[in-house]
Chains A and B, each alone.
Chain A
Amino acid sequence: MRVEIKIDPDVAETSAVIYAPKMTPELMTLVEVLEGAQGKTSLLVAKNDDKLFVIEPDQVDIIRAEGGEIKVYNNKARDYLITKPLHEILESLPSNFVRISKSAIVNIGRVDHLSSSFNGTMHIVMKNGINDYISRKYLGDFKKRLGM
């Protein structure tokens, strides 16, 4: 990989543009490192049984809306409640999190497999056993994050 840095005192904010033929897992890792270097907040603060917990993103499998609440499911399928809207949560998470429908965000690294059904939907099964479905609208983005 060729790396080029341009120092310009007139630039207000440091930014990085990566040119690549396609998205790869290595690129995703690079983006995470760069985002981490910028101090992107990604810890989640959530509630369970009136107790507050700080959750690392790599412990999260899926975050989804259920019955008017936003629930965070960790890698042991334990759920926590969070009060932020999904789009705000997604903005604070690293790039390995991707929206799969209007009501769910998943950690790509924690996806076990997909399955299809005759009614045309694609079900996603997480490593903690929880499953949801991928909306056709978000499928393209999901595949892009996988490097497809």
Chain B
Amino acid sequence: MEKKNKIKLILSYLFAGIGWGSFMFVINAVINAITIDTTDLNDVERVIGFFDNIPTYTIGYFAVGIGFFGTAIIYEIERLSFGLKLIIHMVIGIGVLLIVGFSFSWFSFENPVNIIGNIIFSAAMVFIGWTVAYIQNKKEVERINKVLAEKNHRKPLDTD
């Protein structure tokens, strides 16, 4: 691949990761604002802590976004098997999530449920991303098969 195209590809994944991180940051902020229990001092402190540390949280979410969605660029490397790509992707993604989570005190060892919940949620987001990509790929294949069928003067196949 040309160097220019490689750089464009890397940047597109990087910005996709930052974009996803930004989106999750906004969702988290909205959830915090909506679910705050003003009668519970701990909850109020928790939410205040979130909004008081917006720059830190922003960097953290960007890093996790790049860790999970930016590293999806691994799937562009065709010589690697799908299994290996998946392992590398998830190891890096979860690794970044844990490093950021513990560094910014989002997680603590006293609350393993929070850690596991975040890992499962992030993996679920990646799965949703895959599913969307698969659906788009399938639609593309259907369009191409329609053209092939017209070329071969037959009805399009019902593939997949």
Please report the C-alpha to C-alpha distance between residue A88 and residue B156 in the assembled complex, in whole angstroms.
34
Chain A contact residues: over half helix, strand or loop, or mixed?
mixed
Q: A122-B137, A146-B144, A148-B147 are in contact. Are A113 and B75 (CB under 8 A)?
A: no
Please report the C-alpha to C-alpha distance between residue A141 and residue B137 in the assembled complex, in whole angstroms.
16
Q: Does A120 contact B (CB under 8 A)?
A: yes
Number of A-B residue pairs having CB atoms within 8 Å of each other in the complex? 51
B107 CB to closest chain A CB, in angstroms?
A: 31
* Contacting residue for A111 out of B78, B138, B148, B159, CB 8 A: B148
Contact with A along B116-160 (1 / 0, CB 8 A): 000000000000001001100110110111011101100001011
Chain B contact residues: over half helix, strand or loop, or mixed?
helix
Interface residues of A (CB under 8 A from B): 25, 101-102, 109, 111-116, 118-120, 122, 135-137, 143, 146-148
Interface residues of B (CB under 8 A from A): 1, 75-76, 78, 82, 130, 133-134, 137-138, 140-141, 143-145, 147-149, 151-152, 157, 159-160
